[in-house]
């Protein structure tokens, strides 16, 4: 294992990833400290909301309530259709510790809009939760978790050998308060996205570039961050009606808060990627904490959904070479974005819903004016609250009229094996646009339904396309030594 992991840093230069497209904001030098500071101020309020209320809470519910006020008073069920994330309280009518949802019939809660956000317990999670970090808190390796400890030790040794100079950012605050880093970090030696939106590490690091765009022309790379949201059924129903798949960047704490909703995403055929355990700033974590943020989210998704993601997105884009190394060692491709709708910012930093609509309109205009004649954007939007989801639903017809194709990011990258499990395959880009949008293969999910669907209809063109543009992850995984490393990792997860 040690030899294989050490080889990772040597092999990474062989992997290629789609480079930033130029223009837009990618790679543009910002103002250093002031940029960091600005980002922190905007992000803090969002992080606080996410942490305290889960994703079912809309801004309208929050109003001017202080988070401590809500938390201490327990007044979390202000509206029955909204989420109540209160792990200390049983749902109405359910005795503490009662099994509100079993793995045998979870879909009633998932699909019923009157109960979709009613708190429930889920027996498969109850059975394993003691071996996971506390939800909505910075993750760390759980006591006596010998498998995680051993894997981290291997990765950490390789990391310290490869990148000994990359420092933890900030002063121990994980909410974007960068402390002295705000003024002392003046040269972007670490390819720190939050500082200058760097997405292409120096070749000497051996790290692949982040995914920022997709190689398919006039193609919208569709993803939603921050789910699963208990009230996502309207959005997911809409996506199903449109036969539209997407990439879902799930927060580990939301997955275990709302496991049945997470299972729906997989069963609906969406691609599942990791969005960390606690949704904090990753570069502020120690090596061990950063590892735990990714490791336990990925493990929970495996346990509850039956698939092991090979992709992740850093919350707030906050990634540097140290964090990229840890993610790559877990065989996860770093995906950021090229366009930000700012839907997550509404209500803060003077951003309004009109601004978000204008952003969508700009992206759609670019879809028709030749901007994307040779590639496609990866657009940042969210499963954060009912507003962000409804805004997407409202603008979807315009997106569809402006771009030739709207596809999940894996599909746009022709990643046909998005998970470690090789019995789950996704269509190639050519297959998808030809009408075959379903995933193939069954998994060990705890879901009551299967994701099995119709068989592949691969054509010669599709086969050619599948080899034309592979993601960094699939290329790395294809390398023999890396494959051994991944196999070892998967064994630890199963
Ligand atoms: Zn996020």
Tell me: pLDDT of 444 over 60.
Answer: no
Question: 320 alpha carbon to ligand 1 midpoint, in Å?
Answer: 17
What is the pLDDT, as a whole number, of residue 117? 80
DSSP3 helix / strand / coil % (the chain, rounded to 5): 45, 10, 45
Q: Which residues fall within 8 angstroms of residue 354, CB to CB, at 6 or more apart?
A: none
| 172 in any annotated domain | no
| Residue bearing the bigger pLDDT, 413 or 9 | 413
Rounded mean pLDDT, 348-364 = 93
Question: 425 alpha carbon to ligand 1 midpoint, in Å?
Answer: 26
Tell me: pLDDT of 39 over 80.
Answer: no
Model confidence band, residue 354 (pLDDT cutoffs 50, 70, 90): very high
Question: 73 alpha carbon to ligand 1 midpoint, in Å?
Answer: 27
382 catalytic? Reply is: yes
Interval 398-442: pLDDT, tens: 999 999 999 999 999 999 999 999 999 999 999 999 999 988 865
Length of the chain counted residue by residue: 494
Cα 374-375-381 angle, rounded to 5 deg = 150
Cα 21-24-25 angle, rounded to 5 deg = 105
Rounded Cα distance, 255 and 226, in Å: 10
| 101 in any annotated domain | no
39 catalytic? Reply is: no
Q: Whole-prediction pTM value? A: 0.74
Q: State the residue range of the domain holding 454.
A: 2-26+203-493
Interval 290-337: pLDDT, tens: 999 999 999 999 999 999 999 999 999 999 999 999 999 999 999 999
Tell me: pLDDT of 107 over 50.
Answer: yes
Question: 257 alpha carbon to ligand 1 midpoint, in Å?
Answer: 16
**CB of 391 within 8 A of CB of 353?**
yes
Please report, rounded to a whole number, the percentage of residues in the chain having pLDDT higher than 70.
67
Question: 314 alpha carbon to ligand 1 midpoint, in Å?
Answer: 7
What is the pLDDT, as a whole number, of residue 473? 33
What is the pLDDT, as a whole number, of residue 312? 98
Rounded Cα distance, 489 and 331, in Å: 9
Question: 161 alpha carbon to ligand 1 midpoint, in Å?
Answer: 31
Rounded mean pLDDT, 13-20 = 26
What is the pLDDT, as a whole number, of residue 18? 24
Tell me: pLDDT of 162 over 70.
Answer: yes
Interval 168-226: pLDDT, tens: 999 989 999 999 998 999 999 999 999 999 999 999 999 999 999 999 999 999 999 99
Q: How many domains does the chain have?
A: 1
What is the pLDDT, as a whole number, of residue 120? 79
| 426 in any annotated domain | yes
Of 261, 220, 211, 226, the closest CA to residue 418 belongs to 211
Model confidence band, residue 110 (pLDDT cutoffs 50, 70, 90): low
Question: 45 alpha carbon to ligand 1 midpoint, in Å?
Answer: 13
Dihedral of CA atoms 79, 231, 102, 255 in degrees, nearest 10, equals -120
| 472 in any annotated domain | yes
Interval 211-270: pLDDT, tens: 999 999 999 999 999 999 988 999 999 999 999 999 999 999 999 988 889 999 999 999
Question: 80 alpha carbon to ligand 1 midpoint, in Å?
Answer: 25
Rounded Cα distance, 229 and 219, in Å: 26
C-alpha distance from residue 194 to each of 4, 137, 283, 316 (Å):
31, 22, 9, 8
Alpha helical stretches, state H, 83-170: 107-111, 123-126, 146-162
Question: 100 alpha carbon to ligand 1 midpoint, in Å?
Answer: 28
Tell me: pLDDT of 45 over 90.
Answer: no
| 90 in any annotated domain | no
The number of beta carbons lying within 10 Å of the beta carbon of residue 184 is: 10
- Which residue in the list 190, 225, 226, 268 is annotated as catalytic? 225
Question: 244 alpha carbon to ligand 1 midpoint, in Å?
Answer: 21
Give 179-184 contacts, CB < 8 A, sequence gap 24+: 181/36, 182/33, 182/36, 182/37, 183/33
Beta-bridge partners for 248:
224, 272
**CB of 263 within 8 A of CB of 105?**
no
Interval 483-492: pLDDT, tens: 334 434 433 3
**CB of 229 within 8 A of CB of 383?**
yes
Question: 228 alpha carbon to ligand 1 midpoint, in Å?
Answer: 11
The number of beta carbons lying within 10 Å of the beta carbon of residue 337 is: 25
Taking the mean position of all CA atoms in its chain, how far away is CA 335?
8
Question: 280 alpha carbon to ligand 1 midpoint, in Å?
Answer: 9
Find tokens 């997860």 and name the residue. Answer: 493
Interval 359-409: pLDDT, tens: 999 999 999 999 999 999 999 999 988 899 999 999 999 999 999 999 999
Tell me: pLDDT of 277 over 70.
Answer: yes
Question: 276 alpha carbon to ligand 1 midpoint, in Å?
Answer: 9
Interval 461-470: pLDDT, tens: 222 223 232 3
Rounded Cα distance, 334 and 311, in Å: 6
What is the pLDDT, as a whole number, of residue 109? 61
Six-digit token string for 342: 């700012």
| Residue bearing the bigger pLDDT, 245 or 55 | 245
- Judged by average pLDDT, the poorest of 19-23, 54-58, 156-160, 278-282 is 19-23
Model confidence band, residue 108 (pLDDT cutoffs 50, 70, 90): low
| 389 in any annotated domain | yes
Tell me: pLDDT of 344 over 80.
Answer: yes
Name the 3-class secondary structure at 337: coil
What is the pLDDT, as a whole number, of residue 119? 75
What CATH number corresponds to the domain at position 280? Answer: 3.20.20.370
What is the pLDDT, as a whole number, of residue 121? 80
| Residue bearing the bigger pLDDT, 67 or 229 | 229
Alpha helical stretches, state H, 163-286: 181-184, 193-196, 233-241, 252-257, 259-267
Residue 300 phi/psi, 5° resolution?
Answer: -65, -40
């Amino acid at each position: 294992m040690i030899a294989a992991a050490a080889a990772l840093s040597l092999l990474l230069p062989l992997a290629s990833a789609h480079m930033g497209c130029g223009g837009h904001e990618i790679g543009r030098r910002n103002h250093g400290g002031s940029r960091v500071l600005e980002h922190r101020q905007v992000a803090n309020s969002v992080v606080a909301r996410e942490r305290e209320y889960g994703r079912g809470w809309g801004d309208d519910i929050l109003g001017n309530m202080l988070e401590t006020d809500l938390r201490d008073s327990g007044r979390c069920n202000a509206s029955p259709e909204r989420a109540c994330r209160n792990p200390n309280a049983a749902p109405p009518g359910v005795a503490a510790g009662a099994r509100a949802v079993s793995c045998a019939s979870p879909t009633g809660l998932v699909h019923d809009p009157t109960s979709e956000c009613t708190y429930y317990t889920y027996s498969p999670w109850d059975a394993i939760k003691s071996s996971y970090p506390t939800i909505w808190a910075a993750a760390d390796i759980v006591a006596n978790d010998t498998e995680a400890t051993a894997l981290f030790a291997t990765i950490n040794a390789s990391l310290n050998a490869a990148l000994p100079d990359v420092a933890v950012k900030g002063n121990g605050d994980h909410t974007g308060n960068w402390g002295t880093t705000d003024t002392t970090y003046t040269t972007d030696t670490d390819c720190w996205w939050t500082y200058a939106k760097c997405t292409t590490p120096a070749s000497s690091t051996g790290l692949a570039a982040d995914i920022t765009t997709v190689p398919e022309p006039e193609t919208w790379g569709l993803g939603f961050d921050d789910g699963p949201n208990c009230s996502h059924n309207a959005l997911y129903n809409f996506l199903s009606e449109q036969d539209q798949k997407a990439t879902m960047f799930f927060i580990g704490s939301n997955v275990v808060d709302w496991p049945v909703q997470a299972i729906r995403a997989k069963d609906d055929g969406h691609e599942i990627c990791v969005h960390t355990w606690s949704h904090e700033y990753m570069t502020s974590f120690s090596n061990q904490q950063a590892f735990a943020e990714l490791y336990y989210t990925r493990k929970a998704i495996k346990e509850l959904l039956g698939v092991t993601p090979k992709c992740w997105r850093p919350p707030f884009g906050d990634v540097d070479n140290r964090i990229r190394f840890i993610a790559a060692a877990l065989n996860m491709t770093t995906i950021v974005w090229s366009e930000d709708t700012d839907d997550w910012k509404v209500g803060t930093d003077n951003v309004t819903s009109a601004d978000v609509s204008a952003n969508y309109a700009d992206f759609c205009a670019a879809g028709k004016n030749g901007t994307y004649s040779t590639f496609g954007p990866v657009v940042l939007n969210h499963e954060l609250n009912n507003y962000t989801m409804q805004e997407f639903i409202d603008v979807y017809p315009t997106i569809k009229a402006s771009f030739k194709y709207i596809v999940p990011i894996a599909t746009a990258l022709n990643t046909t094996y998005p998970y470690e499990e090789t019995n789950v395959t996704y269509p190639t880009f050519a297959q998808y646009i030809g009408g075959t949008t379903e995933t193939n293969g069954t998994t060990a999910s705890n879901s009551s339904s299967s994701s099995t669907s119709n068989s592949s209809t691969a054509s010669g063109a599709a086969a050619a396309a599948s080899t034309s543009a592979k993601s960094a992850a699939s290329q790395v995984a294809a390398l023999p030594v890396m494959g051994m490393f991944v196999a070892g990792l998967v064994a630890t997860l199963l």
